[in-house]
Chain A
Amino acid sequence: MKPMHRLAVAACLILSAGALSAQAGDQRLAKIDAALSIDGTDFVGQYTFTQEVSRKGETAPAVSTKKAVIYRRDSSNSYLLILSEPEADKGKAYLKTDNNLWLYDPVSKRFTFTNAEDRFQNLNIRNSDFSRSSLAKDYKVVGAAKEKLGMFDCDVLSLEAVANTVTFPKLKIWVSPDNLVRKRQDFSLSGELIRTSVMPSYLKVGAFNVPKRVIILDELRGRTIDGKFVNDQTIMVVEAPSLQKLNGSIYTKAYLEQIGR
């Protein structure tokens, strides 16, 4: 084989390998989405959010807690989140239908349009974190490696956004063989690490998986205490998960207005 032909064959092989890996990456992301999505039914769960903020001069972090009930219907990409604690926020609700996200205030009985990218209740959680996983639609795999994460042998996938509607244009996810995301790092477009989320365990609800406990570290906020930088963190715990087919009217403004009365 002439050197030129060899070069052409090698180039073809590299290109096809690249195409294959891209395709494989998309498939892997689709599998992750499928593992994290709840299709054909509705999900209901009690969520507890514990925010730990370290302050200078204080040995223990300041802790605040919020509780909410979440109704989720992934087939229509809808969710309804109703806050139950603290008392001051009781009845406040987030309603997501399609691409619209509304914040309902039961005192003023008004809906305010809000953004999925915004912080949820000033915690390290984004409103978009409650939506169904759409990694395959929003990202492409640009790098892959293997790493042992605790007891899990994980694939570490580096992702870049293909749509500019996502909050974090770069992600790094640690995926266990069962296609569950065990760790996730969110980066800004210029590559600054913004937050790290760890999902050590999942609840098996029917045939579906729901993270039982998510620890979200704010990589930009925290305090150096005794020479060690302690990140602000939010811990999200899911309790009493259940699957039940709910009436579609739950995911409407009218429903919120009705329970507000």
Chain B
Amino acid sequence: MTPRIVVLGVGNLLLSDEGVGVRCVERLERDHALPAGVRAIDGGTSTHELLEDLEDLDALVIVDAIAGAHASGTLVRLEGDHVPSTFSNTLSPHQHGINDLLAKLALLGRAPKKVVLFGVAPESLALGLTLSPRVEAALADVCARVVDEVRALTG
């Protein structure tokens, strides 16, 4: 059976690099053919509304900006229980929402079998509709890594 996998890009497009997850989904849809069973979703700053799309997945791959001491443009990959721990130390408000969402899925008994987070360290969170040059430059690599991940997951 084809596995059910979602690539979820989250972020606020108004706050430059904060929107990197959404920019990644846009790029995936434009430039990449994802394997059968894999859906890319622009999660924006939604929370509740995403619940139905994320239920009973074989794998959930989240792409988002991530806080930490990394140089801007650095890509970080986290898996399993490390994902909600990262989100509980929030960089931005919608991350609180993603953490909530994962907890709700667990309480409903419909959590994804596997959760992977690709986090991109931002350079700027200022008001602005475009990514900073460093994060923009990292985007192609982020997309390639996401595609590799879902290919490995779909076998």
The answer to whether A and B interact is no
B residues in contact (CB < 8 Å) with A: none
